[in-house]
Structure 1
Amino acid sequence: MTGAAIAISLGCCLLLFAWLQRHHFRTGRRSKGVSRNIKPQHPQLERKLLKLLGGNQSTAQRLIQQSQRRYPDKSADWHWEKAIYDLERDRWR
């Protein structure tokens, strides 16, 4: 094999690898154990968190998902209470 053929083969492999990496991120795959839209058992928790966030549901879900990744063994209500507690704590610093 000539040097040019090796360079072309290597370039094709790198392009394929880059495409696979982008495709993986574009499909929105998430780590196992993290629910996309977790709802609390008590609706007042959701209302309170959304009120603190000015109604921003995507931020609420992001905070809940972060909590789930950090504390996977806790209940849904615990994650909502934790997000509320953290927001209130940080606002009064």
Structure 2
Amino acid sequence: MTGAAIAISIGLCLLFFAWQQRRHRQIGGKRNPIERQYRPQHPQLERKLLKLLGGNRKTAERLIQQSRLRNPDRSADWHWEKVIYDLERDRWR
């Protein structure tokens, strides 16, 4: 094999590996079981929060987790609604 063929082969392997990693994260990858437990009953809450955050799921999870730490006795939907309310309130100040 020539040097160019080896470089192309390595490049294709790296692209395939990156694609697999991205696909694994999109399908679900490793998720915290506690996070799954606190999914909202109404999926539109999750969609609205992700829309407000530009699709940043890690930030959404972090905000929900902070809300749960401050108010452990509340329902999952209450946390999602609270985070959405706080974001909308702070954006319009």
- Shared fold, TM over 0.5: yes
Give CA-to-partner distance per residue, 1:61-85, whole Å, 9 cap, x none. Answer: 0000000000000000000000000
Give CA-to-partner distance per residue, 1:18-67, whole Å, 9 cap, x none. Answer: xxxxxxxxxxxxxxxxx334210000000000000000000000000000
Residues in 2 aligned to 1:83 and 1:58: alpha-carbon distance in whole angstroms:
14
Residues in 1 aligned to 2:73 and 2:44: alpha-carbon distance in whole angstroms:
22
* Aligned sequence identity (%): 78
Give the corresponding residue for 1:60: 60
Alignment of 1:25-36 (within 5 A): 35-36=34-35
Q: Which runs of 4+ in 1 moved over 6 A?
A: none
Alignment of 1:1-93 (within 5 A): 35-37=34-36, 38-93=38-93
CA RMSD after TM alignment = 0.8
**Normalized per residue, which structure has more helix?**
2
Q: Which amino acid aligns with 2:71?
A: Y
Structure with bigger gyration radius = 1
Specify every segment of 5 or more residues in structure 1 that has no aligned partner in the other structure, as ranges.
1-34
* Count of residues paired in the alignment: 59
Specify every segment of 5 or more residues in structure 2 that has no aligned partner in the other structure, as ranges.
1-33
Q: What is the TM-score with the length of structure 1 in the denominator?
A: 0.61
